[in-house]
Amino acid sequence: MNFSIQPTLQNEQIILYPLQESDFEELYSVASDPKVWEQHPNKDRWKREVFQNFFTGAMESKGAFKIVDKSTGKIIGCTRYYDYNESENGILIGYTFYGTDSWGKGINPQVKKLMLDYIFQFVPKVHFHVGATNLRSQIAVSRLGAEKTGEEDVTYFGEVPKLNFIYEITKEHWNNLTAKN
């Protein structure tokens, strides 16, 4: 891999900064709301000890970001690139969550646009793992133009396997979609 999976990315409203150990408390204050995790595969991530495991996995991925609202300077969520596959020249985007104050404000499409625009400079395809019961995220990923390509049990860092749907979007498809907008 001859590119960074943890650059700083930004637009007019948000900044994605590489996640640091010192971000734990502020990020946990966003993640400690059980409503955030209602549709996620692990519904207990609002608990401190469960979230600590999630955070450790984020740090070990070396591709995680804190998402910061430019107008307030506050962390509003987290996402990451992970599991770069050199032989297939593809990568995954996921482990994304936002505080409920950010829901319905168009934040996720902005975050994913920043991430896709950046990573498609280096890879021709991106995959997303989405929990089989996470309808909200399935809709969000489909709206980006990703298509469901399969189902598999995914073992999240330090957790038991859970059924996920696999979505894919190619660079060509993304470029065609964004050229229309």
Beta strand 125-131 with 90-98: parallel, antiparallel or unpaired? Answer: parallel
Instruction: For residue 111, give every residue at least 6 positions away whose Cβ sits within 8 Å of its Cβ, in sequence order, or none.
Output: 14, 16, 67, 77, 79, 96
Mean pLDDT along residues 164-170: 96
The pLDDT tens digits for 10-35 are 999 999 999 999 999 999 999 999 99
Q: How far apart are CA 79 and CA 94, in angstroms?
A: 6
Query: Is there a contact between 174 and 145 (Cβ–Cβ < 8 Å)?
Result: yes
Q: How far apart are CA 134 and CA 38, in angstroms?
A: 8
Report pTM.
Answer: 0.94
What tokens appear for 165 in the block?
A: 């749907």
Walk me through the domains of the chain, giving residue ranges and CATH numbers. 9-180 (3.40.630.30)
| Alpha-carbon distances, residue 67 vs 23, 94, 98, 121 (angstroms) | 11, 13, 8, 21
Cα three-residue angle 148-79-100, rounded to 5 degrees: 95
The pLDDT tens digits for 88-124 are 899 999 999 999 999 999 999 999 999 999 999 999 9
